[in-house]
Structure 1
Amino acid sequence: MKLFRLAALCALLAVALADPARALSLLRDPDIEHALNRLSEPVLKAAGLSPTRTQILMIDDRSLNAFVIDRDHIFLHSGLILKMDTPAMLQAVIAHEAAHITNGHLARRPVNMRNARTAAGLGMALAAMAGAISGSPDAAAGIALGTQNTARRVFFSHTRAEESSADRSAMRFLARADVDPRGMVEVMDVFRGQEALMPGRQDPYARTHPLSRDRYRVLDRLAETYADDGGKADAQARYWFARAKHKLSAFIRSPKWTLNRAGESGYADVAKMREAIAWHRRSQLDRALPAIDAAIAQRPDDAFLLELKGQILMESRRFDAAAAAYGRAVELAPDNALILGAHGRALLAQGRTGKALQVLERARARDGQDPRVLRDLAVAHARAGNKGQASVVTAERYAMSGRLEDAALHAKRASDLLPRGSTAWQRAQDVLSAAKTAKADK
């Protein structure tokens, strides 16, 4: 599946950068997210965090940065993932951000995630995540959104004292997780010299995570202290790191670059996966399909390779074959919301509206933050004659992207069509209330 780009978190995620007006988006890919989860699981457990609750999400940004917004989400820039050379380096970044969570460094942040006046887009997106966790799609609906100005006042930079505290905790987490602590020093090597640059030329990570010579020396000593406790990357960690990094690069870098370096990961199935992506991006289905089939032949029960085949077929307008590939992927990973959403999209393209509705509702119940699922749900409801449901879902999709005037228009339409007092009607009222609040704050 391609890297889904979401605009929903623009207002909040922008505050992690020096330029708060800059819009950011998430990159959603089930394979990459699975790989990041596999890599983060031992580190999060060592930090006392639940791997099923704390989600690792990827930002569409080529700069180097990582940050946290609450206990439940760690954000990694795509550029940082591509820059890491070993699993231990990426796990060290995750351990450091986990330390900011467990050490209480978020407590001083002037933001309340449960406040109805949270940043535009953020409230809806995080509430959608909460709805996915609870299993209730209604929990994700109609969340009150605030203004972008609120988000621009939020400040995520860390003090030197916090960085020192996070460093020590992260080293302990890596040792407990049997991850090589030298990975942390290697990450800091990437950022050495950043403080000598003008702020505008520094990577965001250096601006929000101050690095001094003293801090580097302490890190180096800590790594030596924990060297006997932290192990080397195991085979599974090396594999999933290679798969995440090289799939990401195949979608971001030019197809020619990818084809010239397809085998550099050291894994035959990853090489074939990269070739398939490159040929697909060149619109050469006759070469993309044999490549992805070769990867699947090596891992026939891999839902994520089958999902990628579904994407290739779907974007080549081979809807029947795409639905079959996605269907098999769903059988292997029945709770993966991104795969379910893609399957529903393929079913909708086939004209199987009833079945598509069922699958898309399942996807939304597990992860309500994907606007594409809401768009497809609205289409499915409209085709099924459920005009009120189509309008309220469309209102929620616009609210999620911060387009509150459009959201209010569709919410009003839904209110006129839906039974007064029904769950869907109440969701429409929530969107109307959010739009009214945001307008008053301008």
Structure 2
Amino acid sequence: MQLLRLFAACIILSFTLAHPARAVTLLRDPDIEYALKQLASPVLQAAGLSASRMNILVIDDRSLNAFVIDQDSIFIHSGLLLKMTSPQMLQAVLAHEAAHIANGHLVRRPINFRNARTAASLGLALAAIAGAATGNAQAAAGIAAGSQGTAQRLFFAHNRSEESSADNAAISYMVRAGIDPHGAVEVMDLFRGQEALSAARRDPYASTHPLSADRIRVLQRLAEPYKGRFTPSNTDLYWFARAKGKLSAFQRNPKWTLTRAGESGFADVRAMREAIAYHRQSDLRKSLAAMDRALAARPNDPFYHELRGQILMESRQFAPATAAYARAVNAAPRNALILGSYGRALLTQGDTAKALDVLERARSRDGRDMRVMRDLAAAHAKSGNAGLASVVTAERYALIGRLDDAVIHANRASGLLPRGSGGWQRAQDVLQAAKVAQR
């Protein structure tokens, strides 16, 4: 059966609700994340935030939502991204979330996702993502670090005064960046009537971002003076078409994609979308031919080389996939997701020593990629270091909230590694985090 997975890596977060268990999947794709960062950069700079440090991450959920839980990450649902019809709509959402960060609205939610020191603290951040993704602060209860009270205290929905403040700031950021602020009004139009719906039928955005007719009227008034003053740049149009085009090509029916592949007007984006559609139809010849067209237009594009590698890898063409990933790494040597895919391909080729080096580099740049951690454990095991394999496995289980499994592997690592070594100490960190979480 054809693999329909979109991205090179994902984190799956299980969480408990009054209803049966659900999962939140964090989609990771280097191309889409780069495109979103390009679109976010002008508004982030206008907000006085570091564009290089900010992560724009996509959650695989068809409902409409976007939120922040820390200073360094903005989360957006795939459903909201696919619903957008212009770059300024997406930039309005990003500007609004940036305003929550710049205006200090996260003081009550002191989670530092990137700087978490232990498995438990990072697990709590992931738990809060689950709560935010559903618009339910209590959804985080009982997962990751295992503390209902702590998880619920770490995330609160924005109140109306915060929303008003963020709206005003977002409009000013967009104007300062030369972006049409009517994008914010167009976003609000997506949510008209949400407050009249029951909580079960309401999009999560309406729960995490209180809506009202007054709020929409204020946004219209703020945006009106700039009507017709700004037009989207070709760069913004391109990266919006690329992010949305790639996401939709993987998530919609291939026939749908093939009939609409050229709607953006960018030839390489059309070829990329066709390549994905043909790949999902298991037509490797047509898929690679389409990738050749995309690469002819942008021969040094690391993300097109990475996509070619993914297509070949999922078609079990391991040697050419490895070569494609190597070209992607040469073009983007610091991209953690591309490094992770390259390390995985090297493992299929039996080059364990090089795979270890590449996977360690990937993990040092981005510790959220569970597939990298699984591959890193496999590489340590193949190289004969069962202790380090157990450490990495323990850390991976801790990060997804499977603390009993984490303890088993941490204890195994403690018995295999020299006492006091770096790996042994990491195993003790997992054991200590589990002990604290289970109190």
**TM-score normalised to structure 2 length:** 0.90
In 2, Cα distance between the equivalents of 1:398 and 1:222?
A: 48
Please give the secondary structure, in 2, of the residue aligned with 1:201: coil
Contact map agreement 1:26 1:60 (CA 8 A) in 2 = yes
Residue type at the aligned position of 1:198 = S
Please give the secondary structure, in 2, of the residue aligned with 1:265: coil
2:131 equivalent in structure 1: none
In 2, Cα distance between the equivalents of 1:389 and 1:323?
A: 25
Counterparts of 1:110-125 in structure 2, within 5 Å, are: 121-123=123-125
Residue type at the aligned position of 1:254 = N
Contact map agreement 2:302 2:331 (CA 8 A) in 1 = yes
2:373 equivalent in structure 1: 374
Counterparts of 1:10-409 in structure 2, within 5 Å, are: 10=14, 22-109=22-109, 121-123=123-125, 146-147=145-146, 149=148, 150-227=150-227, 231-409=230-408
- C-alpha deviations, 1:331-352, integer Å up to 9, x for none? 0000000000000110100111
Q: Which of 21-30 and 186-195 deviates more? A: 21-30
Shift, 1:120, TM fit: 7.0
Identity of aligned residues (%): 64
In structure 2, the CA distance between the partners of 1:70 and 1:29, relative to structure 1 (3 Å rule), is: same
- C-alpha deviations, 1:139-181, integer Å up to 9, x for none? xxxxxx6215232454431111111111100000001111101
- Aligned residue-pair number: 417
Contact map agreement 1:67 1:75 (CA 8 A) in 2 = yes
Q: Which of 66-75 and 206-215 deviates more? A: 206-215
Shift, 1:233, TM fit: 1.0
Please give the secondary structure, in 1, of the residue aligned with 2:263: helix
Contact map agreement 1:382 1:390 (CA 8 A) in 2 = yes
Contact map agreement 1:2 1:311 (CA 8 A) in 2 = no
Residue type at the aligned position of 2:74 = I
2:10 equivalent in structure 1: 6
- C-alpha deviations, 1:373-405, integer Å up to 9, x for none? 111111111111111111111111111111111
Please give the secondary structure, in 2, of the residue aligned with 1:7: strand
Contact map agreement 2:271 2:294 (CA 8 A) in 1 = yes
Contact map agreement 1:116 1:123 (CA 8 A) in 2 = no
Contact map agreement 2:70 2:112 (CA 8 A) in 1 = no
In 2, Cα distance between the equivalents of 1:123 and 1:217?
A: 35
Shift, 1:247, TM fit: 0.2
In 1, Cα distance between the equivalents of 2:7 and 2:286?
A: 21
Contact map agreement 1:63 1:77 (CA 8 A) in 2 = yes
Residue type at the aligned position of 2:431 = L
Shift, 1:214, TM fit: 1.2
In 1, Cα distance between the equivalents of 2:349 and 2:362?
A: 18
Please give the secondary structure, in 1, of the residue aligned with 2:240: helix
In structure 2, the CA distance between the partners of 1:382 and 1:74, relative to structure 1 (3 Å rule), is: same
Please give the secondary structure, in 1, of the residue aligned with 2:435: helix
Q: Where does the alignment leave 5 or more consecutive residues of structure 1 unmatched? A: 127-144
- C-alpha deviations, 1:309-336, integer Å up to 9, x for none? 0000011111110010000000000000
Contact map agreement 1:255 1:281 (CA 8 A) in 2 = yes
- C-alpha deviations, 1:247-291, integer Å up to 9, x for none? 000111111211121111211111111111111111111211111
Please give the secondary structure, in 1, of the residue aligned with 2:392: helix
RMSD of aligned Cα (Å):
2.3
In 1, Cα distance between the equivalents of 2:267 and 2:111?
A: 46
Please give the secondary structure, in 2, of the residue aligned with 1:25: strand
Contact map agreement 1:3 1:251 (CA 8 A) in 2 = no
Residue type at the aligned position of 1:268 = A
In 2, Cα distance between the equivalents of 1:170 and 1:64?
A: 19
In 2, Cα distance between the equivalents of 1:225 and 1:105?
A: 28
Shift, 1:110, TM fit: 7.0
Q: Where does the alignment leave 5 or more consecutive residues of structure 2 unmatched? A: 129-143
Contact map agreement 1:93 1:184 (CA 8 A) in 2 = yes
In structure 2, the CA distance between the partners of 1:430 and 1:80, relative to structure 1 (3 Å rule), is: same
In 2, Cα distance between the equivalents of 1:29 and 1:288?
A: 19
In structure 2, the CA distance between the partners of 1:275 and 1:122, relative to structure 1 (3 Å rule), is: farther
Contact map agreement 2:71 2:112 (CA 8 A) in 1 = no
In 2, Cα distance between the equivalents of 1:394 and 1:110?
A: 28
Residue type at the aligned position of 1:354 = A
In structure 2, the CA distance between the partners of 1:124 and 1:108, relative to structure 1 (3 Å rule), is: closer
1:438 equivalent in structure 2: 437
Shift, 1:19, TM fit: 7.8
In 2, Cα distance between the equivalents of 1:209 and 1:438?
A: 30
Contact map agreement 2:36 2:243 (CA 8 A) in 1 = yes
In 1, Cα distance between the equivalents of 2:255 and 2:405?
A: 41
**TM-score normalised to structure 1 length:** 0.89
Please give the secondary structure, in 1, of the residue aligned with 2:438: helix
In structure 2, the CA distance between the partners of 1:266 and 1:300, relative to structure 1 (3 Å rule), is: same
Residue type at the aligned position of 1:328 = R
In structure 2, the CA distance between the partners of 1:247 and 1:310, relative to structure 1 (3 Å rule), is: same
In 1, Cα distance between the equivalents of 2:365 and 2:121?
A: 23
Residue type at the aligned position of 2:171 = M
Contact map agreement 2:120 2:434 (CA 8 A) in 1 = no
Shift, 1:368, TM fit: 1.4
In structure 2, the CA distance between the partners of 1:112 and 1:32, relative to structure 1 (3 Å rule), is: closer
In 1, Cα distance between the equivalents of 2:387 and 2:193?
A: 57
Shift, 1:432, TM fit: 1.0
Q: Which of 86-95 and 389-398 deviates more? A: 389-398
Residue type at the aligned position of 2:173 = F
Please give the secondary structure, in 1, of the residue aligned with 2:387: helix
Contact map agreement 2:8 2:341 (CA 8 A) in 1 = no
